Amino acid sequence: MVSTTMADVPVPHGRNFLMVPGPTNVPQRVQNAMHRNSEDHRSLDFPKLGKTALEEMKRVFMCTRGHAFIFPGTGTLGWEAALSNTLSPGDRVVTVRFGQFSHLWADMMQRLGLDVIALDVEWGEGPQRDIIERLIREDTGHRIQALCVVHNETTTGVTSDIPGLRAILDRYRHPALYMVDGVSSIGAMPFKFDEWRVDLAITGSQKALMLPAGLGLVCASPKALEHSKRAKLPRVYMSFDDHLKSNADGFFPYTPSIPLLYGLLEAVKMLEEEGMENVWARHFKLAEGVRRAVAAWNLKLCCRDRARLSDTVTTVMLPPGVDGVEVVKVAYQKYNLSLGAGLMSLRGKAFRISSLGDLNELTILGALAGVEMTLRDCGYRGFQLGAGVAAAADYYQAHAVQTRGFSNAVAKI
């Protein structure tokens, strides 16, 4: 007989509302594309897969020259691959710290033995152009080998002005490599490798590409590839050179994750079916709904400059007395809602809502309702229940477009 007594531990039902900025929801199409038996990565048919994947990656970066590398690994590996393939021990690099991820990347630079000038910016702000400009202007001897910037700080929901910083290098004809971490932006927000003349861009599979973690993706300009010939930092697994040799024939220097390659093709196909500008517009719309809700809750965004708002993650500041650690915990335990926690100095003071990847308006609205219940559970009373949802719904309704049911068929029921 089916038990009719109360179970000791209630079980979750339905689907977890996954609102962290990666790993993001994997669409069924992508899951199915990955669901296949192994195949010989040295077969006569493999290069078709390999070459297509490599070419599609370049399209995602909006790169027509240079090369996109696909490493079994993560975005962290991408960071290291970009640095170690193009720099030598002691090389001077300039970077900006304005959140946990830019901190971690700067930390990596130091651990690799580079001479790091790390500009600290108050969290909530983005890279300050004037300081960077001064550094570049004064570096007439061209000691600075690279300018390294995080495009979208996942900690604070603040973006950098990537073309604007490029313009500084141009103004002073500075030859430094321009490295950009686009882990939580590329594929979701405008990113134009060629047009912005980025030299090294990095992303991972588990963000806008809607795959599981497992691919560290690095796009390198011809100039970066040129640097890789004389860079002295040791690297073998991450070696551009080894990949270039194998990639030329559509192979990889060691066993690639074949399911992820198939998943990558399907994910890029989805993005292309929608059109990248539509994808960017969709992320803007979803994030804007979140921001309207935050305003209706009478809470503040971490990002202080509207021009620098992230469309993939919104960092929400909590008032004194409301514990952000508790918010994340309660949301998960009681509402099956996964929010991003406040990181490092924002620990306990903020939480994050992602609008990245395979989500839609109703997913966001359900999540916002979950946040509202959670905020009340955690003692915040500065809003009326439903206010955030209503503000977002009002915006979404005004900007809704038809996406399904274009046929005229009507079920006679």
By C-beta, is 140 or 402 nearer to a second copy? Answer: 402
Q: In whole angstroms, what is the distance from residue 209 CA to residue 203 CA?
A: 9
By C-beta, is 118 or 341 nearer to a second copy? Answer: 341
List beta partners, residue 216: 71, 204
By C-beta, is 168 or 357 nearer to a second copy? Answer: 357
Shortest Cβ distance from residue 179 to a second copy (Å)?
A: 15
3-state secondary structure 228-277: HCCCCCCCCCCCHHHHHHHHCCCCCCCCCCHHHHHHHHHHHHHHHHHCHH
Shortest Cβ distance from residue 340 to a second copy (Å)?
A: 8
Q: Considering only residues 214-253, where is the footprint of a second copy by CB under 8 A? A: 214, 216, 233-234, 236-238, 246, 249-251, 253
Q: Considering only residues 40-59, where is the footprint of a second copy by CB under 8 A? A: 40-48, 59
Q: Under the criterion CB under 8 A, does residue 254 sit at the interface with a second copy?
A: yes
**CA 62 to chain centroid:** 16
Q: Considering only residues 353-382, where is the footprint of a second copy by CB under 8 A? A: 358-367, 369-370, 372-373, 376-377
352 marked as binding residue? yes
By C-beta, is 169 or 191 nearer to a second copy? Answer: 191
List beta partners, residue 159: 152
Residue 410 to residues 261, 323, 353, 403, 407: CA-CA distances in angstroms?
39, 51, 38, 17, 8
Q: Under the criterion CB under 8 A, does residue 18 sit at the interface with a second copy?
A: yes
Q: Under the criterion CB under 8 A, does residue 13 sit at the interface with a second copy?
A: yes
At 154, phi and psi to the nearest 5?
A: -65, -15
Please list the helix, strand and coil fractions of the chain in percent, rounded to the nearest 5, in that order.
40, 15, 45
Q: Under the criterion CB under 8 A, does residue 404 sit at the interface with a second copy?
A: yes
Q: Under the criterion CB under 8 A, does residue 307 sit at the interface with a second copy?
A: no
Q: Under the criterion CB under 8 A, does residue 310 sit at the interface with a second copy?
A: no
Closest alpha carbon to 84 in 202, 165, 184: 202
Q: In whole angstroms, what is the distance from residue 79 CA to residue 83 CA?
A: 6
The one-letter amino acid code at 79 reads: W
Shortest Cβ distance from residue 238 to a second copy (Å)?
A: 8
Q: Under the criterion CB under 8 A, does residue 298 sit at the interface with a second copy?
A: no
Torsion angle (degrees, nearest 10) of CA 90, 91, 92, 95: -100
Q: Considering only residues 185-214, where is the footprint of a second copy by CB under 8 A? A: 204, 206, 212-214
Q: Considering only residues 101-160, where is the footprint of a second copy by CB under 8 A? A: 108, 111-113
Contact 168, 129 (CB under 8 A): yes
By C-beta, is 89 or 164 nearer to a second copy? Answer: 89
DSSP 92-159: EEEEEESSHHHHHHHHHHHHTT-EEEEEE--BTB---HHHHHHHHHH-TT--EEEEEEESEETTTTEE
Going by the DSSP 8-state scheme, the letter that residue 197 receives in this structure is: T
Q: Considering only residues 274-293, where is the footprint of a second copy by CB under 8 A? A: 274-278, 282
User: Exactly one of 337, 350, 356, 378 binds a second copy (CB under 8 A); which one?
Assistant: 337
Shortest Cβ distance from residue 400 to a second copy (Å)?
A: 4
Shortest Cβ distance from residue 154 to a second copy (Å)?
A: 11
By C-beta, is 44 or 307 nearer to a second copy? Answer: 44
Shortest Cβ distance from residue 323 to a second copy (Å)?
A: 13
Q: Under the criterion CB under 8 A, does residue 346 sit at the interface with a second copy?
A: no
Q: In whole angstroms, what is the distance from residue 247 CA to residue 238 CA?
A: 14
Torsion angle (degrees, nearest 10) of CA 66, 265, 39, 74: 60
By C-beta, is 137 or 347 nearer to a second copy? Answer: 347
Shortest Cβ distance from residue 129 to a second copy (Å)?
A: 26
Residues making up the annotated binding site are 352
